[in-house]
Amino acid sequence: MSGRSKRQKNAPTIITPKIQLRLAKAVEGGLTFPRALRFVFDLLRRYFPILKMPGAGVVVARHADVMTVLSHDAEFKPVYLPKIVETTGAFAVGLHVADPLYKRQIELMHSAVRREDPERIRRFIRATVEELIHCSSTEGEIDAVAGLSRLANARFVGNYFGVPGPDEATLDRWMHDIFRHIFANIANFRCIRDQAIASSKDMLGYVSELIQDRKQEVRAGTAEDNFLNRLLAQQAAGAEITDDEILGIVTGTFVGTVGISKAFGQGFDELLSREFEMYKAAEAARSGDIALVSKYVFEALRFNPQNPVMLRLSETGFTLGGKRIDAGSTIWAGTMSAMFDRAAVEAPNIFRTDRPDREYAHFGHGPHECFGKQMASIIIPEIAAALLRTRNLRRAEGSRGKLVYDGAFPQHLILKFDPN
């Protein structure tokens, strides 16, 4: 047998899991080139505002049409439910608004939120990020993603939601594995699903045991005040809430906080690339004007949003922008495109901090607007402000100072500052 024949005979017939994972993350990474995306969306809005792609769905580019898709829950259903069910259980993010389970879950979620929570979250995040930056002050270097926003988010989940995880790194991995499968595994790679299912099994087992332990604390009156314990207190007081409901609501909600650290990484990286805006944002941070810092960060995020597209399913068919959308079509609603549509956004290519909220779509729109929007609106500016208050904040030299992605998710952003 010739050497060539032997190579053919012994050639692998399947793609290894390692290669599958690299391929999956490469597909995700296609959404991490904001300038290219803006260019494509500009062309689509002008020439193909509703682009039908045989076998792949329909891309919707204009602001009015994107908002219609996100607002009409009855006609355009979120596509995420099957993946949510297999990881955290049926959850409001993937349910029709008319579904009784949606209404019940939203009511329970809001029942576990207090009026004083925003200020509590602000104080906790501010203290946490200042501590993390202080611990890095002797080196004058910090990883603004892995060593700050992702770590702060894990601690926030422990403090506010009452789920600290076996350790912060494990909790962060669980959340990212599950979030990635639900929202970023567009091509449905099996390796991504398998990771999510494995992390889900471990996470649900951990939280289930935590629920039983916390029940005893609630009965003894020694439970701390947090999202999980508030639901358990309602249950102990006689409310008809099952353990499985509490498990699904708590895990489904805190897994979504991955989007907060993702938004921070992409928004702050964009701000760092704008010298004048960076200077003005630092001035605002040092003067204590957190509202103005927020405007700078979220305007920066508009140029590289954490969700450039949102997926929906046209269940019954719909006429949109004069075109008939067939039943069963996947809709790619271009939220990034909507934020650059001149028909709805004034001077979209100019960085402005005086934009009304209606010009943003960072957290979706309509009945499925992100439940954590208010939390994100506090956490992201507080992390940014703490960094901006450091002296001479700048990127590390060379490639170390560039935002590094793990697929579609920010992983590292090394920054330098002058120690006090």
User: What residues contact residue 405 under an 8 Å CB cut-off, 6+ apart?
Assistant: 29, 32, 411
- Is the pLDDT at 319 greater than 50? The verdict is yes
What pLDDT, on the 0 to 100 scale, is given for residue 47? 97
Q: Give the closest residue to 307 by CA, choosing from 185, 183, 152.
A: 183
pLDDT above 70 for 6: no
Contacts of 217 (CB under 8 A, 6+ apart): 223, 224, 229
Judged against a pLDDT cut of 60, whether residue 306 lies above it is answered with yes
User: Is 80 exceeded by the pLDDT of residue 32?
Assistant: yes
Which tens digits make up the pLDDT trace of 180-216?
Answer: 999 999 889 999 999 999 999 999 999 999 999 999 9
* Cβ-contact 163, 228 below 8 angstroms: yes
Q: What pTM value is reported for the model?
A: 0.93
Contact 93, 368 (CB under 8 A): yes
CB 387 within 8 A of CB 131: no
Mean pLDDT of the region 354-360 = 96
Token digits of residue 64: 């009015």
Whether pLDDT at 159 is above 80: yes
In the predicted model, what is the mean pLDDT of residues 31-40? 93
Is there a contact between 335 and 361 (Cβ–Cβ < 8 Å)?
yes
Distance from the Cα of residue 193 to its chain's centroid:
18
Provide the pLDDT for residue 4.
45
Mean pLDDT, the chain, integer: 93
Q: For 110-153, what is each residue's pLDDT tens digit? A: 999 999 999 999 999 999 999 999 999 888 999 999 999 999 99
pLDDT at 25 (0 to 100):
87
pLDDT at 21: 85
Tokens standing for residue 275: 């010298």
Residue 56 in this model has a pLDDT that exceeds 70: yes
**pLDDT of the residue at 177:** 97
Query: What span, in angstroms and rounded, lies between the C-alpha atoms of 407 and 173?
Result: 14
- pLDDT at residue 5 greater than cutoff 70: no
Report the C-alpha gap between 362 and 302 in whole angstroms. Answer: 7
C-alpha distances (whole Å) from 84 to each of 165, 189, 278, 372 are 20, 16, 38, 17
Pairwise pLDDT comparison (25 vs 274), residue with the higher score? 274
Cα–Cα distance for residue pair 170/258, rounded to 1 Å: 14
Mean pLDDT of 16-24: 83
pLDDT at 273 (0 to 100) = 97
Domains (range + CATH), the chain: 28-85+104-418 (1.10.630.10)
Who's near 101: CB < 8 A, 6+ residues apart?
90, 92, 95
Say how many Å lie between the first and final Cα of the chain, rounded.
72
| Residue 3 confidence (pLDDT) | 45
Closest CA to 128 of 414, 365, 379, 399: 379
Decide which of 102 and 176 is more confident.
176
Q: How much is the average pLDDT of 86-102?
A: 87
- Res. 14 pLDDT band, cuts 50 70 90: low
**DSSP assigned state of 351:** -
Q: Which two tokens stand for residue 190?
A: 């099996």
pLDDT interval class at 29 (50, 70, 90)? confident
Residue 8 is predicted with a pLDDT of 43
Q: For tokens 């208050």, what's the residue?
A: 389
pLDDT digits (tens, 9 = 90+) for 269-291: 999 999 999 999 999 999 999 99
Residue 84 confidence (pLDDT): 93
Residues 140, 134: Cα–Cα separation, whole Å: 9
